[in-house]
Structure 1
């Protein structure tokens, strides 16, 4: 029992010594016996209350640091549109099949089943589950190519910047979830995909114009050395005359089925390495109208220091952090497309023609898979792929396009139209079949956003240090005092005690030998 009493006395003595000598204001009054008790109690209560508030506020700062480690802010530096490619543009005809190509197809035949799928008709496909392809080239994609409107039929006049170009030089056929469409300024398949992509036709050239495909991504940009003519093409400038101008022909007399309740076209703008989602995100372009799409881009970047923060907390992924199965570059849209491909492959043992062929030996869905695809698509709407897509975080470096769309009807009879291609066409035919679309920037700069750390070590120390100092004068000197009284002083006393005792023993031994 005596050792406990002695320990209590030692601790009491040390606490008194610490409080008498501490640099914290107020504490030295707590154990000053020369003061009245109510004064000691008053300063003690103030110190306890201040400590409670300070610790509570410091924990709030810490929790915010943990819950929001990354903050999005506007970049202090504007970026010129010429530093990035002109957006990739996908154009789809709402007519999914030409009447002249499908009018003779017999009901109940193999081609009839593929036609119903092309036209998004909901029929019972179970009767076709045992049908096999008639030949190697008998695929659903080839059927769609044979019956869908071609790019050269749909896009009849093209001009990019000041130069008029053959439309087949700058557009290529491309499968999306809306069927066979036409795409402009998409990254070359060699740079976009890890292995060969089926049903992708590369650009062609004519009139001695040779454009070389180059690599590009939002994180590293263009290569340092570029050829004279290349794609994806850079932006030229602002205004309609520096954008992409197109004349489209809907040819409504050859309509068989529409992907919507109307006639015309669908348009989607996105960056050059993305997988487009036309069916849900496409914008309409009406026949008999000139539709303008003012391009409003936003660029997103991230400072490299946030790599040390867990992905789940920073909520973005650097493109060199995540390997995809089919795409060379990570983006959220590409990741989500691979999730859909995995989903259909798991349920139906095939991958739809418009989704990435994530496995080289995977089968592309054919007629015998249509019944399964219909069931799988119904479940997909209910969010069956959410678990996979939740892992598809945004890209830390990205470019997003927000088009501002407005349209004006063509002029009435008796008023001439500006484009020469309309000169030999009647105004009735133009209003019923033709459309003009313009894609252009109205601003020479891109608004950029930067992901950075909400608080680093310096900011965190400043915040917590400010709170502690405000509440009770806390400082680094106080930490040194606390460390001294708790450890250094005790160690010094023990060493001094040990040294005196050891010296006394030596002295006693010498005295004994001397006697």
Structure 2
């Protein structure tokens, strides 16, 4: 289930249609810890205090600065028991996806603020993995996968990630790109402005709308409709079956169909597969207020073994491990957001029409008064004086 569609291992692994809740315990017990040291804004932390485990499409991962399940999922969702809560000193308050932090949010508010920019205020994570735990059968890449995402969005690792190879130090400089929407555009319907405000579209599983959450919910619903179960990482209600490796082909088919559903609709509007007729109505528009993270990534060798050897801190254990380092920081303390405005309002349209008339026909307000004079006052006076509208 964690090795793609599992075709290479089809003969070795029993064909299981669905699995129980004990599958999550298997994931937790079979995943070795990989944190060695963590620091945030120049201060060292216990990694377990600032990271928490979460189940994703790649299995058990660790997340930093993501909201608790109570803030992400609705009450009907039964999250994996492995998703632990944040400590009490990281309470979620005074923050929203559209407006950010409130006026009363302090320095220690959550999600954590990157108060300063530059590499000296970075999130630095030193990771290690036992050489015996490397799995060359599932993937030709050995290392770590990292996803940058908003705190309210469920991360899909297989779709959007960058890699941290073994024995490498990866430095990531982030430049945020924010799009906000002006008040004038908010009065338009979502179809015209082509984006959703928070609260305009309600999701069944997620409390906050994002385009990625919407797509994941859509994929979850149609996986359940077609396969009769959902994948282990998908949001689900308490008694919804969890797909085993026997349903991997069905899961892959549904996902593949969703990826090309819009293209099929545009190429052949007459074609409609009954079982998937609703799939084209997922209606997952982008958010009107959104933040994207542009990155500049550099990679160098991480000579961790020589470092510990030079300071006399090398142990026999280190010879059996490989380490990597991840450094993430904001490139600048400021950024300029983009504002989504209407291209032409009513006043803009009238102003442009008046300008074009003045340019091409010499039209002005005086010309308009002259026209009104000739079609009203002049005719009335001629009728009284000459009994003809055109006068003499």
Q: 1:215 to 1:417 in 2, by over 3 A?
A: farther
Tell me how far 1:213 sits from its aligned partner.
2.5
Q: Distance in 2 between matches of 1:480 and 1:270?
A: 60
Q: 1:228 to 1:309 in 2, by over 3 A?
A: closer
Deviations 1:152-172 (Å, cap 9, x if unpaired)? x11121111122111111111
Q: 1:262 to 1:467 in 2, by over 3 A?
A: same
Deviations 1:219-278 (Å, cap 9, x if unpaired)? 121233336744210113122221211110121212235653121101111221122221
Q: Distance in 2 between matches of 1:419 and 1:216?
A: 46
Given the two structures, how large is their TM-score scaled by the length of structure 2?
Answer: 0.81
Task: Identify the match of residue 193 of structure 1 among 73, 81, 95.
Answer: 73
Alignment match, 2:45: 165
Matched, 1:376 2:254: yes
Task: Identify the match of residue 24 of structure 2 among 115, 124, 141.
Answer: 141
Structure with more of its chain in helix, by fraction: 1
Q: Distance in 2 between matches of 1:389 and 1:424?
A: 59
Q: Distance in 2 between matches of 1:175 and 1:489?
A: 83
Q: Distance in 1 between matches of 2:310 and 2:375?
A: 88
Aligned pair count reads 366
SS in 2 for 1:118: coil
Q: 1:223 to 1:470 in 2, by over 3 A?
A: closer
SS in 2 for 1:280: coil
Alignment match, 1:461: 350
SS in 2 for 1:403: strand
Alignment match, 1:290: 169
Tell me how far 1:462 sits from its aligned partner.
1.9
Task: Identify the match of residue 314 of structure 2 among 396, 417, 424.
Answer: 424
Q: Which has the larger radius of gyration?
A: 1
Task: Identify the match of residue 187 of structure 2 among 308, 333, 337.
Answer: 308
Deviations 1:90-134 (Å, cap 9, x if unpaired)? xxxxxxxxxxxxxxxxxxxxxxxxxxx2222225599736x565x
Task: Identify the match of residue 15 of structure 2 among 120, 124, 128.
Answer: 128
Equivalent positions of 1:441-460 (< 5 A) are 441-460=330-349
Equivalent positions of 1:199-218 (< 5 A) are 199=80, 201-203=83-85, 205=87, 210-214=89-93, 216-218=95-97
Tell me how far 1:485 sits from its aligned partner.
5.6
Q: Distance in 1 between matches of 2:105 and 2:186?
A: 30
SS in 1 for 2:226: helix
Q: 1:396 to 1:347 in 2, by over 3 A?
A: same
Q: Distance in 2 between matches of 1:443 and 1:418?
A: 36
Matched, 1:177 2:61: no
Tell me how far 1:390 sits from its aligned partner.
7.3
Tell me how far 1:433 sits from its aligned partner.
0.8
Alignment match, 1:271: 150
Q: Distance in 2 between matches of 1:299 and 1:317?
A: 15
Q: Distance in 1 between matches of 2:345 and 2:229?
A: 48
SS in 2 for 1:327: coil
Alignment match, 2:230: 351
Deviations 1:416-449 (Å, cap 9, x if unpaired)? 36998x933479838x610011111121112311
SS in 2 for 1:342: helix
Matched, 1:119 2:3: yes
Q: 1:258 to 1:248 in 2, by over 3 A?
A: farther
SS in 1 for 2:158: helix
8 Å Cα contact 1:240-1:439 kept in structure 2? yes
Q: Distance in 1 between matches of 2:51 and 2:103?
A: 26
Q: Distance in 2 between matches of 1:271 and 1:354?
A: 18
Q: Distance in 1 between matches of 2:98 and 2:86?
A: 28
8 Å Cα contact 1:128-1:367 kept in structure 2? yes
Alignment match, 1:392: 284
Matched, 1:409 2:301: yes
8 Å Cα contact 1:168-1:203 kept in structure 2? no
Q: 1:460 to 1:440 in 2, by over 3 A?
A: same
Decide which moves more: 281-290 or 370-379: 370-379
User: Structure 1: which 5+ runs fail to align?
Assistant: 1-116, 497-515
Alignment match, 1:260: 139
Alignment match, 1:79: none
Q: 1:472 to 1:227 in 2, by over 3 A?
A: closer
Query: Aligned Cα RMSD in Å?
Result: 3.5
Alignment match, 1:475: 364
Q: 1:371 to 1:480 in 2, by over 3 A?
A: same
Given the two structures, how large is their TM-score scaled by the length of structure 1?
Answer: 0.63
